[in-house]
Chains A and B, each alone.
Chain A
Amino acid sequence: MTGKTTDQRWGFLALISSAPPRLGRLGYAVGYTSAYGIFVLCCLAIAAAAPVAGMIHRDRRRRIIWLRGVASRVARIYLGYCRLIRMVKVEFIGERKLPPGLIVANHPSLVDALWLISTQPNICCVLKGDLERFGLFRYLAAQLDYVSNQDPERLLAEGCERLRQGETLLVFPEATRTPPGELPTFRLGAAELAVRTAVPVHPVVVHKAGSYLSKARPWYAFPNQPLRWQIVFTDTLTEVRTDAPRHARRQLTAGLQKFFHQQITSYQVAQRPPRTET
């Protein structure tokens, strides 16, 4: 017999992944702190890639698309890192390859957008205006050509423009994170974008266990277990009414909100009894 089989050679990896030693409180505190540190590094890496994009592509649109590709890959690497150190468990369900359109998602935690960015090579996000206070985010948002929600009129105009250019736009219609245990209230803007542009609407339901990274809990109150997400890509809505826009946007908002409420409620019911720690 010559050479080891792959199983033998990489068997030690199975040891790491199949029989994880229990991490204590300190282990999780170190793990989560490192996740924050790596997150900042990831942001800096994308920021550093922005001038490179300018060197590779002279055309503005191609430059943005290239940089969004980098951001998506960096988000994927970051997710990989968080999984590797066993701080997160993220499960994606359903078809992730989406044709251009409007991704409508609920927003239970701080990093929902990051996990969604990791699934799409070219995605434009609607960014909460408050985040633009941070210079790094403001720079990244400008370089990635994201849309701010600060001014509703500009949000509608720029959102429509992105969608008409054939981009994928991510919107959280609840505008900001909804505390755990509450059902989100959707605002009209997301539906208005769909009604004005008649693009496909992709509802993505984000389930998040526990309260960490929600508004209910400070960042330093680390949980003693991995954070768990289940991100469900549901069926695309292709026939959005575009006549009678006032009626159409209200109807679509109400319909989407009802659908998300049903999904969130049935998930909470189906879940195992919550653990005490998180």
Chain B
Amino acid sequence: MTVLQHLRDVLAAEFEVDPQSITPEAHLLDDLDIDSIDAIDILARLREFTGKELPAEALKNVRTVGEVVALVDSA
């Protein structure tokens, strides 16, 4: 399962986001209603999923779904 797929599952299940709207270009706050605190929760999930150390500090510059995926891939 890819990071994007896992992110889709988490967003759809926990944050009631329509899976159709979760594209790499989707803006977390404006399009998906995911705020900065939600992003910290989601990052914790991705940490469990990937086993990578993902510091929440890095979230400061993240705005879109694609950027979250890139952040995880580059870690």
Contact = CB atoms under 8 A, between A and B. Distances in A.
Contact of B59 (A152, A154, A188): A152
Contacts, number: 29
Chain B contact surface mostly: helix
Query: Is the interface on chain B under 10, 10 to 19, 20 to 34, or 35 or more residues?
Result: 10 to 19
Contacts of B40: 152-153, 156
Contacts of B35: 188, 246, 249-250
Contacts of A152: 36, 40, 56-57, 59
A234 interface: no
A153 B56 contact: yes
A151 interface: yes
A189 interface: yes
A153 B44 contact: yes
Contacts of A154: 56
B38 interface: yes
A228 to B, nearest CB: 34
A150 interface: yes
B24 interface: no
A153 B55 CA distance: 8
A192 interface: yes
21 contacts: A151-B55, A152-B36, A152-B40, A152-B56, A152-B57, A152-B59, A153-B40, A153-B43, A153-B44, A153-B56, A154-B56, A156-B37, A187-B36, A188-B35, A188-B36, A189-B37, A192-B37, A246-B38, A249-B35, A249-B37, A250-B35
Interface of B: 35-38, 40, 43-44, 55-57, 59
